[in-house]
Amino acid sequence: MKPFIKNRRGLSTVIGAIFSVVVFLAGFSFILWEVTQYDTHAQVINERNRLDQDKKNEIIEILDPYIEDTELSFSVTNKGSVTAHIVNIWITKYNGTTAILHTGPISNSTYINPGSTVMFTETPPSLDPEKTYLIKVVTERGNVVTKMFEPAVAPGTGGDINAGPFVLIFSDTSFQYTSNNNPTVPQVAFEIDNDRTNILFWIKIQNQAGKAIRICNQSFFLVEVRELGSGGAPGNTEDERYFHITNSTSTSSSLVAYNPDYNQMIASGETAILKFGASSVGGTGFLSYPLRNGGTAGHETYANLLWTFLVIFWKYEGEGNRFGQTITYTAIRATP
């Protein structure tokens, strides 16, 4: 030891080396610490990605809403691959397209396994089956799913008939007529005076097919006029009145022939008014007193009940196949 202490040559080098090692170790540990920080941060990113992925995989759908008494019921189906946790429900009442009453949040805690369906029943205030409701379901992951629930029969209508690619709506604006008395302004056709002439029916239909449809000139509106016996008693026969399709520009002052054939097109999802009034296919003449039965008994005194069929021949735009449908349609009250 003594010789070493006596001989201090090289001591400063050793001390310098020690300091260098200390500085190096400090730098190394700082780098290690940063790597740990990066790793922790990467774990946070991974966790967020996992949560986002879970949120994407959570696919729920609201199905089959209906109203019974004071309860609004609906099902929620989990179509995703992760369990959904329903936490809140909102119900909004609409008058037409305007929201008028908002109920929520209605707290809930329901877990729905993948592939499962769970029924929910809520009792929002002032439940009205004639109104439209928006049902909103919120999950713990933040997915918000909605379903608009409209009454099966829209207010002011008698409901719809779905017939093949067509939807026929029973309403005062969907089944109308013009006549000698109202040649240009259509009126509701559920009740018509049997003295009317130049009757032209205006029937609104919707094309619910995924492709445009063209209407053939063979289409007609058939009205069955029940025979009235004397004193208004039903007879034994009936008269069939054929109202053939006319051009859409027709009025009760002037029928325009449905020419060329298939000239009226209804685009997919669109509505159109078909006009029926010609006494023959492609013709321009009206039927005479079409809502009276063959005999004249009773038509000035008694009302009569008529029933109708809508017979449509049609084809899809750009395709060759022709289709024909006979649709049981409305009833008409013919008044004296």
**Phi/psi zone of residue 298: left (φ > 0), alpha (ψ -120 to 50 degrees), beta?**
left
Strand partners, 229: none
CB of 54 vs another protein, minimal distance in Å = 11
**Which residues are 311's β-sheet partners?**
220, 326
Nearest alpha-carbon partner for 134 in 168, 180, 103: 103
For the chain, the farthest-separated pair of C-alpha atoms sits apart, in whole angstroms, at 151
Nearer CB in complex with another protein: 63/99: 99
Which residues are CB-neighbours of 148 under 8 A, at least 6 positions away?
132, 133, 134, 135
CA–CA separation, 209 and 96 (whole Å): 26
| Complex with another protein: residue 51 or 331, whichever CB lies closer | 51
In the complex, the smallest distance separating the C-beta of residue 116 from another protein, rounded to whole angstroms, is: 22
Please identify, using beta-carbon distances, which residue of 16 and 159 lies nearer to another protein. 16
CB closer to another protein out of 33 and 115: 33
Q: How far is the CB of 22 from another protein (least distance, A)?
A: 6
Buried b (16+ CB within 10 A) or exposed e, 260-293: eebebebeeeeebbbbbbbbebbebebbebbbbb
Q: C-beta of 121: minimal distance to another protein in Å?
A: 21
* CA dihedral sign, ordered 80, 86, 88, 90: positive
CB of 19 to another protein, least distance (A): 3
**Closest CB to another protein among 39 and 270?**
39
Nearer to another protein, 85 or 315 (CB): 85
State the nearest-atom distance from the C-beta of 102 to another protein, in Å: 5
Positions in the binding site for another protein (CB under 8 A)? 8, 11-12, 15-16, 18-19, 22-23, 26-27, 30, 33-34, 37-38, 40-41, 44-45, 47-48, 51, 55, 87-88, 90, 92, 94, 97-99, 102, 104-105, 134, 136, 138, 140-142, 144
